[in-house]
Structure 1
C-alpha cells in the first residue's frame, strides 16, 4: 500500500508540473501576436471562439484550431489593418501579411 501511494504521489506531481498539450509555451500564454496600425476600439476581441486581449496596438491570443493564416485574417477583420502578425514569435513575411490585410475592415 505504501508503495502504491508513493507511485501515485509521483504521478500526480509529474502531471501537475507538465504543461497541458496545445497550450502556448510563450510568456503570458500568447501564441498569436497581432500589432494593429491603429489601436482597436475594444480591449478584447472575439474571433470565432478565440479571445484576443489588446493593449494599445498589440493583441495577443492563445493557440486556436484554425490555420495561422485564417487567425490573422480573423483578427484583421476585427481590429483593422495589421502592421505585423506573429505565431510563436515567428513573424509573417510581407506577402503573407499583405494577404492577411486584404481581409481587414
Structure 2
C-alpha cells in the first residue's frame, strides 16, 4: 500500500513539475498575460496563435512576429484587464500595461 501511494505521489509531482516547466518555457519564448479575474476558458485563440491558461490564471502564448503592444491589447480584449504582461520573461512597465488595458472591454 505504501509503495502504491509513493508511486502515485511521484507521478503527481512529476506532472506538476511538467506543467510548471511548460508555463516557464512559454514565458521565456513568448507572451504571458495575467488577468485581474480568472479566465472563463483554459485556452483561446489570438489571431492564429493558441494561448493556454494555467490553474493560477496566467495565460501564455507563443511570440509572434507582430508588435508586442498589439499582442497585449488582443490578450486584454479576450481576458479583460491585465495585472501583468510579459514578453520573453520581461514585464511591461506600468505605462505600457495601462495602454494595453485601454483595449480591454
TM above 0.5, yes or no, is yes
Higher helix share: 2
Q: How does 1:6-17 map to 2 (within 5 A)?
A: none
- Who is 1:49 aligned against? 48
How far residue 53 of structure 1 moved from its aligned partner, in angstroms, is: 0.3
* TM-score normalised by L of structure 2: 0.71
- 1:28 Cα deviation after fit: 2.6
The 1:73–1:49 alpha-carbon spacing in structure 2 relative to 1, beyond 3 Å, is same
1:93 equivalent in alignment to 2:90 = no
Structure 1 residues not aligned, in runs of 5+: 1-25
In the other structure, the counterpart of 1:102 is 102
> Is 1:28 paired with 2:28?
no
Which structure 1 residue ranges, 4+ long, deviate > 4 Å from structure 2?
none
Larger radius of gyration: 1
Give 5+ residue unaligned stretches, structure 2.
1-22
Q: Describe the SS at the equivalent of 1:70.
A: helix
Distance in structure 1 (CA, Å) of the matches to 2:102 and 2:26 = 28
The number of residue pairs the alignment matches comes to 80
